[in-house]
Amino acid sequence: MRALLFALALSTTALAPACAAPVPTSTANVPEFKPAFDGQTRAEAVTSKTAISVAEVATGLSNPWSLAFLPDGRMLVSEKAPGALRIIDAKGNMSPPLAGTPAVDARGQGGMMGVAVPGDGYIYWTYAEPREGGNGLAVARGKLVDGAQPRIDNATVIFRMMPTLDSDKHFGGKLVFPADGTLFVTLGERSILPGRMQAQKLDSHFGKIVRINRDGSIPKDNPFVGKAGAKPEIWSYGHRNILSAALDGRGRLWEVEHGPKGGDEVNLVQKAKDYGWPTITYGEEYSGKPIGESRTQAPGMEQPVYYWDPVIGPAGAVIPAGKMFPEWRGNLLIGGLATKDLVRLVLRNDRVVGEERLLGDRGERIRDVAEGPDGAIWLLTDGKQGKLLRLTPKG
């Protein structure tokens, strides 16, 4: 572990004027697709007024995926492959892998994924669970026992994505804890065609956001409780692969999901709503062929608040309270895997009115984004030699 402080000087101009251009990017993959409303894509470029210092707090992490803060300020960090949880303190001291975690399927996009510490005495995590006939996302919780060799006691699976499918892609895996004591879990549609075609079917968990209680039971006010042929855990559906989700200051759930070739989306999630995948999309197949009937709109299906073409590869997101970065209060900060930067969206009246790309000069894939108790912004970089970074105002 080592620490490295350096300044990233940013210009001090205010929000760009009304005639400003969007963030420079390449030509859209599907230029014939037009936004449904003004500002739905390629919002005006803005520039933060705050100069940033970036500290490398820890290095050498094996494919880190997610981080969460323990009550004493240390961090619980997941390593996707081979599949481990570690504790890291603010100085970068790293524990051995926690004992007591279940086996994971670390192929492809699988492994150990989301982590959360909601303050109820448990730690929670998601992982790709190996099963007969394939795998699926599972959510587990347990009690952290600290010490020289920390461990998890009484690890219990509280949710399993069903059905089982043999795919190494699109697990989802983010955990979000609203104030009502429930738990949102984001679920991918497994990428391959047999999974994709279940994203809008209510008898499958694929391509859904589910809402459960913290013990795995079903909240009685979920929208599909008691509906024949529908899984009662489902909160929203028609999603592709959600690796970014966060609550805003009003407790509302926002998610940022991967599109195909083009069409990464930002959605403000509402219960029982259909977000359209794969019937509607602002992208195309990786081969360049159209998806389905090549539609961007359809009756009864929600439009994204914002979309990108070309994509950013969204992973990890936070809507900061802004204690340390007041000008970022209420903005959406998103890790860019494809663009190798931190993407900042300025939100106003539930619309995106500005976009900024930060830290692109580092050339590192940003896997997760979190706001610390003191207001610092923490990042995980992706890769076999992943890093834990801390962002603070310069000076």
Chain centre to alpha carbon of residue 97: 23
C-alpha closest to that of 137 among 115, 161, 114, 158: 161
At 44 the pLDDT is 98
Three-class secondary structure of residue 114 per DSSP:
strand
Look at residue 206 and give its three-state secondary structure: coil
Task: Provide the CA 30 distance to its chain's centre, in angstroms.
Answer: 25
Protein fold of 63-239 = Neuraminidase (2.120.10)
pLDDT (0 to 100) of residue 303: 98
Residue 50 near residue 10 (C-beta atoms within 8 A): yes
- pLDDT for position 5: 33
Q: What is the pLDDT of residue 11?
A: 31
Task: Determine which one of 170, 205, 239, 258 is catalytic.
Answer: 170
What is the reported pLDDT for 395?
A: 80
Q: Is there a catalytic annotation at residue 258?
A: no
- Which residue in 231, 194, 238 sits closest to 211, CA to CA? 231
Q: Please tell me the predicted confidence (pLDDT) of residue 2.
A: 34
Give the angle 102-60-246 at the CA atoms, nearest 5°: 65
| Euclidean distance between CA atoms 332 and 208, whole angstroms | 22
Q: Which residues of the chain have pLDDT under 70?
A: 1-19
For residue 281, give the nearest of 268, 267, 25 by alpha carbon: 267
22: enclosing H helix or E strand: none
- The predicted pLDDT at position 135 comes to 98
- Which has the closest alpha carbon to 291: 221, 359, 240, 353? 240
> Model-level pTM?
0.94
- DSSP letter string, 242-275: EEEEEE-TTS-EEEEEE-SBS-EEEEE--TT-B-
